[in-house]
Structure 1
Amino acid sequence: MSQPDTPQNPPAQPAEWAPPSAAPFGTPTGEAPAPGYPGAAAATPQGWATPPAGAYAPPPGYAPPAGYPVPPAAASVIAYGAPAPVKRSGALGIVALALALVATIGASLLAAIASFNIGLGAGREISSRPFTGDFDWSVLTPVRDWVLMGEVSFWVGTAIGVWALVQGIIAVVKGRGRGAGIAAVVIAALGPIAFGAVVQGFLTAGLAAGTGIGG
């Protein structure tokens, strides 16, 4: 009886399993781990030389950068990012004050001239006519040019005064010439009162001169 054929290359027996080394991650194979880790060697591993002192020091004369230059647009920014206060022009209030003076003084001056001449001419007409209880508006016929001048001064002064009043209020609210704006508002508000007082005073003086009452 023949023996069974034996295989020419019998299977190899598995090798005995060995636990991995305790070297830390990143340690080169075959070298001792760095000091402080389990199994560390007393000597420094080959290829892991310690750099000399001052190897990473900056070169002589090196100075750290002080910062980037501040652009002109950011020059007005102060601490905590708050914008620097911007100085506003006071031209708005100054113009309002000038308009208020023109409306009050200029209109009152023209009204004074017109009122005196109206009273003077009307007084002469009244004194040359027989006295009646009713006022005759025809006495203003010789002084109609002065009457027109008085009306123009009133309406122009009113328009400029309202303009000065509104612009003065805007100047006060926006802080663009606040002092001049307050003065413009006060003068423009008192303009009609001054105009009426001037007209009344010079018209009375003209009537007195025309009728001879004051002579």
Structure 2
Amino acid sequence: MTDPQLPPPPGAVPPVPPAPSFPQESVAGAVPPPPPAYASAPVAPYAPAGGYGQPAAPAAPPGAYQVPVGGYAAPAGTYTAPETTPKRSGALGLLALGLSILAAVIVPIIGGVSAFEVGRRLPQGISGSTSDLGFLSPARDQVLWTELSFWAGTLLGIAAIVLGIIAIRKKQGRGAGIAALIVAVLGAVVFFVAVFTAFAVGGAAGYATFTT
């Protein structure tokens, strides 16, 4: 017989009696306890990053160099390609150049021929009385042609100068417009030189014929 105050010897631990089981009796009117509720997060539909059917781009590691959104802005002062503008027609400058050539070449020729005939028909020239224009009657038609050529050259020269200035301002045949201005200004000098020279030569030819 062992002392109850001493610990039991090894291997002599009494077995633990099983827990008493009670029969489950259903009580009328008793509500069974509800099952435990588990909070579940709603599952979102699958949407791959970058659009359907495209794999998501791998994320850059921390500290890696990233390109800014929208690309790089061009620094100020850098060279940019000039905008292409439609080339303007140079017809206006060519028209001004054509009018100036008429005023500086064709008109002086017509005026020179008429002045030569005036000098030849009036061998004494205009040394007579200028108050009476009856001395011009022998060369009346030639004088009229000389006068018409003068006014025609004047109008053509003015038109060439105006169109040349417009062509230069609007850049429609700028080179031809500049040339038209120069030729039109020189045309007035050419006309007077051609007319007076032809008149002098015609007068000398008429005087030689008159004296013989």
AA aligned opposite 2:117: N
Q: Which residue matches 1:154?
A: 150
The normalised TM-score by structure 1 is: 0.59
Aligned counterpart for 1:178 among listed residues 165, 174, 192: 174
- Counterpart residue type for residue 107 of structure 1: V
Residue 199 of structure 1, aligned match among 188, 192, 195? 195
Q: Aligned AA for 2:194? A: V
The answer for the alignment partner of 1:87 in structure 2 is 87
- Partner residue in 1 for 2:53: 58
Paired amino acid for 1:88 = R
Secondary structure (helix, strand or coil) at the match of 2:122 reads helix
Name the CA distance, whole Å, in 1 between partners of 2:205 and 2:193.
Answer: 18
Structure 1 segments of 4+ aligned residues over 2 angstroms from their partners: 47-54, 80-84, 132-139
**What residue in structure 2 maps to residue 101 of structure 1?**
101
Indicate how the Cα distance of structure 1 residues 32 and 180 shifts in structure 2: closer, same or farther if over 3 A, else same: same
- 1:48 corresponds in structure 2 to 43
* Distance in 1 (alpha carbons) for counterparts of 2:48 and 2:204: 113
The number of equivalent residue pairs is 150
Which residue does 1:169 correspond to in 2? 165
Percent identity of paired positions between Structure 1 and Structure 2: 36
Q: Structure 1 residue 52: deviation in Å?
A: 9.8
Mark the CA change 1:105 to 1:58 in structure 2 (over 3 Å): closer, same or farther. Answer: same
- Cα RMSD for the two superposed structures: 3.6
Q: What is the CA deviation profile of residues 20-70 of structure 1, one whole-angstrom value per residue up to 9, with x for unaligned ones?
A: xxxxxxxxx84156xxxxxxxxxxxxx63895989x6527xxxxxxxxxxx
Matched residue SS, 2:142: helix
Aligned letter for 2:121? Answer: G
Instruction: Measure, in 2, the Cα distance between the counterparts of 1:167 and 1:175.
Output: 12
Which ranges in structure 1 are unaligned for 5 or more consecutive residues?
1-28, 34-46, 60-79
Aligned amino acid, residue 88 of structure 2: R
**What aligned pairs does 1:106-117 form with structure 2 within 5 A after superposition?**
106-117=106-117
Gaps of 5+ in 2: 1-36, 55-79
Deviation string, structure 1 residues 110-161 (Cα, Å, up to 9, x no partner):
10100000000001xx39xxxx875674332110000000000000110111
One-letter amino acid matched to 1:116: F
> Is the partner of 1:106 in helix, strand or coil?
helix
Equivalent residue letter for 1:31 = A
Corresponding residue of 1:144:
140
